[in-house]
Structure 1
């Protein structure tokens, strides 16, 4: 009797379990689940977010002086010159200083937001909340720009824009890394990176044209529309689980058996003791300083000398930005083929006269057209100066890991790079704003060219594997003299060297590579070191 009772209870338990299982399997999925969770929609959510953040940032490149000038006339109801050259030239000294501070606040926001959202991204598995916070910060910044009646309100808006981009860039990349297997990650990241220059190339002319033709609020309304679309996509997207998670326990067990004990993590002090890394970071500060110095001053120069309005300034700036974006990929390939030293030295050598020549054309010398080829040359050479930095950082990380297959210290090296770039972005506009007001644009360009010239001996002494000017690589990121080294080391160096060709205006593409490497090599790297 007891046995029958137990069998009856067991039968009831089994039936209850089967009913619960069936009920769970029949549970209704979210509305449009297949569409909202498919890879195509996830990718476009990340792509739209990246494009929007870049578009919003780039529209202010040529418009900042005009916006600062407008805020000083906010109480004058009859003032209608917000997009004309006279808006800047009426008090150009004050405009240049205030614009420099406004541009620098973006870099401060970027530096503050990067570690916060990086930490939050590690703590929260689902990316929706941080992404919505970042998009919300962008929308708040646009509203503040539209409603600003005082200069401090502009500063707060620009700071929020930096915080927003720090979040959006990081979380968009994490979203891709979470939803694709490692064998497809490289191609997906490559496609995503393309939306960065696309946002720049569309945002620059669109911002100027909207500002000039439709009024002060027009570019920010356009940004709000894009941010609204971005916000909706982030709300409805359903994030999938990492493809590699299913085999994580098996892989981790296998790793414990096959991998040797993890070595001591690479510290900040170890990295900063390397002169090669310090020089690379110094070159990053120099490039960021020069690039950001032109942001508040180039538009003022065009308005002062040739009477350009906001739309004209935006179009001229394209002649500097587009060649720089294209040259970054070419210079990355040249670093692989001929070595980093020769690329850095040649770029620094030609960047020196390029900076001086940017300051030469004026209304006394004639038309603005001679400025266009000079800006093209400046964009190309500045991109060439930055391209060697990424493989140089990779070599230092590789060396500190004892040339092993691990990449411990990669995140720290990126943090140092990001800090160096942020320092340059803070120093450049502040310095340029005050120098433009006190000594003029030509002498500002001369001082910037001296920075490049002074760096040439440091590039010769410390960049590259040796004092040899040309040190060709075998096409995969290792010097040709080392072709007999382990295949795994070659593969790792290849991953790092690819980052050089991904450079396009700022630190963002290196962040792409950092996340890609962390994802691909996650089972070989000590998680605590990142």
Structure 2
């Protein structure tokens, strides 16, 4: 009995839960990253797609991922709140990820790959929505910045190692590590009950007829699933700002994926491996700066850091336009500018999360029944998923159009304007800690 109680304590500990969520998010991002660079080759060699149709098929596969993510986010936010524990939704998401992995591995035709990408999009919607909601549940809004920054720093490694160690690391540590750890993980509210009673005799989830599990009802089930309570707050500036900056961030990252490799190939003659290494230069600063940047947001608030980081990013993006011809010096210069953008980007990830998490936490204190028993965070991050996925769709389309029509300088200028707009939005919609404390 004492051993079981000790085990519950350890599995409900903050480091264990944060580590489990980080590995799950890393796994999802890793699979996304490891598939993208090999698709142009596997579609021709394994699936038999004619070379002239590869671009169209790749665009389709990328689009269905984002569409599945957008379509599933609201229902997942609704259904996840029907469970008093985050465990079951998280496991379902990882099962989707396992199914997607299997289909991508054995798929020899385009329909199978489309189904796999749909499952991958569903998995991302579940893992990111439920995982980030659980994270805020256990650390609280006061520590969202440093925790998010540290996790984003860790999962950024997925973007670095995926092209190089894809199959080996994923098969040995990816899905299985995330799945097993999530089975073992015990949420703090479960641990309290387990430590009071015999752990073997208590269910992990409360019965579905538990009155505490009942959310506010709506006469139309479709409305309940696709119109979450948090959408009623969508016009509040404390959510408009974070959602816009999230859209800008996803547009930037997806636009980099769509334009930078082609520009590296055009100017420097880079192959896929060299492009991947250059993207590592962009991602590495996240690993070193993410937690530090997030802790600054926790201490100071979102407005100042968000406003200045996006303004600086708008300027550093334009630096990428300087190297226009091949030379060893220009290769290093482009790498330095990418790294500089990576440093600044690490400061843009946390302000929106911190601002929105604190706002919905304060709103819940004033309106305790508004979000339902499980609170606001699953709904908040399902909305984030929708906004982020929209950025993944729109960003590459617009930046790719500008690059094809007017060149790389035009597409980068578009991204710079987006960043400056995010700086203005942060100034108007975000708040710092001293302002929040004074208003309280």
Q: Whole-Å Cα distance in 2 between the matches of residues 377 and 113 of structure 1?
A: 35
Using the TM superposition, give the Cα deviation of residue 163 of structure 1 relative to its aligned residue in structure 2, in angstroms.
1.7
Using the TM superposition, give the Cα deviation of residue 62 of structure 1 relative to its aligned residue in structure 2, in angstroms.
7.2
2:396 to 405, 425, 429: 429
Relative distance call for 1:65 and 1:436 in structure 2 (3 A) is: farther
2:411 to 444, 448, 457: 444
For the residue of structure 1 that corresponds to 2:332, the secondary structure is coil
Count of aligned residue pairs for this structure pair: 400
Relative distance call for 1:73 and 1:279 in structure 2 (3 A) is: same
Q: Is the 8 A contact 2:69 2:386 kept in 1?
A: no
For the residue of structure 1 that corresponds to 2:323, the secondary structure is coil
Q: Whole-Å Cα distance in 2 between the matches of residues 36 and 57 of structure 1?
A: 33
In structure 1, what is the equivalent of residue 331 of structure 2?
368
Q: Whole-Å Cα distance in 2 between the matches of residues 35 and 399 of structure 1?
A: 34
Q: Whole-Å Cα distance in 2 between the matches of residues 114 and 59 of structure 1?
A: 19
Using the TM superposition, give the Cα deviation of residue 370 of structure 1 relative to its aligned residue in structure 2, in angstroms.
1.0
1:167 to 109, 123, 126: 126
2:386 to 419, 423, 434: 419
In structure 1, what is the equivalent of residue 190 of structure 2?
242
1:61 to 33, 55, 68: 33
In structure 2, what is the equivalent of residue 123 of structure 1?
82
In structure 1, what is the equivalent of residue 202 of structure 2?
none
Q: Is the 8 A contact 2:309 2:347 kept in 1?
A: yes
1:206 to 161, 174, 183: 161
Map 1:150-229 → 2, pairs under 5 A:
150-169=109-128, 194=150, 197-201=153-157, 203-210=158-165, 219-220=166-167, 222-226=169-173, 227-229=175-177
Relative distance call for 1:55 and 1:246 in structure 2 (3 A) is: closer
Relative distance call for 1:377 and 1:319 in structure 2 (3 A) is: same
- Could you give the per-residue CA deviations for residues 327-385 of structure 1, whole angstroms, max 9, x where no partner exists? 44444444466654433332232222322222443443554211122112222333434
1:295 to 224, 247, 257: 257
In structure 1, what is the equivalent of residue 311 of structure 2?
349
Map 1:479-498 → 2, pairs under 5 A:
479=437, 482=438
Q: Whole-Å Cα distance in 2 between the matches of residues 177 and 399 of structure 1?
A: 14
In structure 2, what is the equivalent of residue 286 of structure 1?
248
Q: Which runs of no fewer than 5 residues in structure 1 stay unpaired?
A: 1-28, 80-89, 211-218, 249-265, 466-471, 490-530
Using the TM superposition, give the Cα deviation of residue 71 of structure 1 relative to its aligned residue in structure 2, in angstroms.
0.9
Relative distance call for 1:407 and 1:299 in structure 2 (3 A) is: farther
In structure 2, what is the equivalent of residue 378 of structure 1?
341
Q: Is the 8 A contact 1:63 1:310 kept in 2?
A: no
Q: Whole-Å Cα distance in 2 between the matches of residues 297 and 122 of structure 1?
A: 39
Q: Whole-Å Cα distance in 1 between the matches of residues 147 and 361 of structure 2?
A: 27
Q: Is the 8 A contact 1:62 1:314 kept in 2?
A: no
Relative distance call for 1:310 and 1:34 in structure 2 (3 A) is: farther
- Could you give the per-residue CA deviations for residues 83-136 of structure 1, whole angstroms, max 9, x where no partner exists? xxxxxxx97xx7666545544443333334444444444334566654443222
Q: Is the 8 A contact 2:145 2:353 kept in 1?
A: no
Q: Whole-Å Cα distance in 2 between the matches of residues 320 and 294 of structure 1?
A: 10
Q: Whole-Å Cα distance in 1 between the matches of residues 257 and 35 of structure 2?
A: 9
Relative distance call for 1:430 and 1:146 in structure 2 (3 A) is: farther
Relative distance call for 1:459 and 1:119 in structure 2 (3 A) is: closer
Using the TM superposition, give the Cα deviation of residue 242 of structure 1 relative to its aligned residue in structure 2, in angstroms.
1.9
1:388 to 351, 357, 382: 351
Using the TM superposition, give the Cα deviation of residue 151 of structure 1 relative to its aligned residue in structure 2, in angstroms.
4.3
For the residue of structure 2 that corresponds to 1:209, the secondary structure is helix
Q: Is the 8 A contact 2:149 2:349 kept in 1?
A: no
Q: Whole-Å Cα distance in 2 between the matches of residues 279 and 49 of structure 1?
A: 26
Q: Is the 8 A contact 1:135 1:231 kept in 2?
A: yes
> What is the TM-score with the length of structure 2 in the denominator?
0.70
For the residue of structure 2 that corresponds to 1:298, the secondary structure is helix
Relative distance call for 1:285 and 1:56 in structure 2 (3 A) is: closer
Using the TM superposition, give the Cα deviation of residue 428 of structure 1 relative to its aligned residue in structure 2, in angstroms.
1.9
Q: Whole-Å Cα distance in 1 between the matches of residues 46 and 134 of structure 2?
A: 42
In structure 2, what is the equivalent of residue 51 of structure 1?
23
In structure 2, what is the equivalent of residue 463 of structure 1?
429
> What is the TM-score with the length of structure 1 in the denominator?
0.60
In structure 2, what is the equivalent of residue 109 of structure 1?
68
Relative distance call for 1:336 and 1:173 in structure 2 (3 A) is: closer
Bigger RCO of structures 1 and 2 (CA < 8 A, at least 6 apart): 2
Relative distance call for 1:320 and 1:459 in structure 2 (3 A) is: same
Report the more deviating stretch, 374-383 or 449-458.
449-458
Q: Is the 8 A contact 1:397 1:407 kept in 2?
A: no
For the residue of structure 2 that corresponds to 1:361, the secondary structure is coil
In structure 2, what is the equivalent of residue 493 of structure 1?
none
Q: Whole-Å Cα distance in 1 between the matches of residues 230 and 27 of structure 2?
A: 34
Using the TM superposition, give the Cα deviation of residue 146 of structure 1 relative to its aligned residue in structure 2, in angstroms.
2.4
* RMSD of Structure 2 on Structure 1 (CA): 4.7
Larger radius of gyration: 1
